[in-house]
Amino acid sequence: MILRTHYTGDVTPEIDGTEVTLAGFAHEIRNLGGIAFLVLRDRKGFAQITLVKKLVDKATFKKVAGISRESVVQVRGMVKAEAKAPGGFEILPTEVQVLNAAEVPLPMDPTEKVECELDTRLDSRFMDIRRPCVLAAFEIESAVLRVLRDYFYRQGITEVFTPKIVAAATEGGTDLFPISYFEREAFLNQSPQLYKQMLMGAGMDRVFEIGPIFRAEEHDTRRHLNEAISIDIEVSFADDKDVMDILEGAVVSAYQYVAENCSRQLAALNLDFQVPKAPFKRITYTEALELAKEGRNVPMQWGDDLDTETERFLGETIGEHYFLTDWPSSIKPYYTLPYEDRPEICRGFDLMHPRMELASGAQRVHDHAMLVERIRGKGLDPSGFEFYLKAFRYGMPPHAGWGLGLSRLIMTMLKLENIRDAVIFPRDRRRLVP
């Protein structure tokens, strides 16, 4: 049995007179007495099904008039060019089947006519995603993942998968989710950092990973989640500037692909979409501090981290993607390489969108003795990192890398107000279901 021959987006006025079978959701039903309209929605758009009472049998007309909104329907009929109908065509049905009737009332309105609070939408996420503007974001996310993988493969970078259940903290901090692992305590990994560096010691040279990370931080903001997808790379015989170039190319490639291949989705989101121009500006931490001091008239000391308000001010001032480079060594993690002649400054960088940080990276410490010293300098015990440090004792190449937050990339790319709109089933400190 054929349930579908075409998506609505595949039907055009040019195939006037063709028989098609469509399947999707009953988006809207209007009974005007002598004529009824059923708007069928699938993931590629809408189709108007037109029933003239005197031209169809009474049972079919009555069935369509009584369909509840969001029921799953199948329609077989002829395409007729009609300039006034959505897409320039309508379907004159020969058969309408209700495959699964929707209960009434609906938990929310997927027609986008009635606004819902975010929590209501997330509680019924399966129906929220039926909304074209919500579905469009996740179709674009899929396109971004596709183009990024293609970009990395063209760069000769090998895809890998590292453990998500670990015995020790990546950063040595406490923001971890503990789990029971047989007779031991383990943790959900907060980053693939240690493992991708170990793979540089394995001679893999260039690796990337796209996978989940977990952070037990008690944030409750529009840009933080406790489970996220991180896009990570690590490259041997490279410095911070080399991997910044790779990151810049990845972001621009993602935007270009979306601009050229996702016109339907961008239209659903009603976006004025702009591809960022490369090369991105590169501003040192010291320059950013001076800008902030001058523009905000707020006393800031060298070595202070940049707070949200300062980031917002810099974003508004610069107005485009930019790199923040040459951070104080005291701010960045132990594996970030200090400058040899200026050890108080390190080869760390952040990629910033005017709204927020998107990625963080650095050239790494590759010398075993220096790494142990840096770990101790952060108040950590090197013995807890022995599995990691072992890889540095037998020949570790110079290397650099970064981690990019997928949801933040999508959120800023599509101008979404809340990062939860960039995640199908988000996890934050209050939400564990659905």
Distance, in Å, from the CA atom of 165 to the CA atom of 187, rounded to the nearest integer, reads 6
Domain ranges of the chain: 8-100, 128-422
CB 433, CB 160: distance < 8 Å = no
Identify the CATH class of 8-100.
mainly beta
Per-residue pLDDT for the chain (434 aa), expressed as one digit of tens each?
789 999 999 999 999 999 999 999 999 999 998 999 999 999 999 999 999 998 888 888 999 989 999 999 999 999 999 999 989 999 999 999 999 999 999 999 998 788 889 999 999 999 999 999 999 999 999 999 999 999 999 999 999 999 999 987 667 666 899 999 999 999 999 999 999 999 999 999 999 999 999 999 888 899 999 999 999 999 999 999 999 999 999 999 999 999 999 999 999 999 999 999 999 999 999 999 999 888 877 777 888 888 889 999 999 999 999 999 999 999 999 999 999 999 999 999 999 999 999 999 999 999 999 999 999 999 999 998 999 999 999 999 999 999 999 999 999 999 999 999 999 999 999 999 99
Q: Catalytic amino acids?
A: 215, 217, 223-224, 357, 360, 408
Amino acid letter for position 64: V
This prediction has a pTM of 0.94
Q: Could you tell me which residues are beta bridge partners of residue 98? A: 73
Q: Could you tell me which residues are beta bridge partners of residue 207? A: 158, 234
Token pair, residue 387, equals 């599995």
Q: Are strands 348-353 and 356-363 parallel, antiparallel or unpaired?
A: antiparallel
Out of 3.40.50.300, 3.30.9.10, 2.60.260.20, 3.30.930.10, select the CATH number for domain 128-422: 3.30.930.10
- Measured CA to CA in angstroms, residue 238 lies from 17, 200, 395 at distances of 61, 11, 16
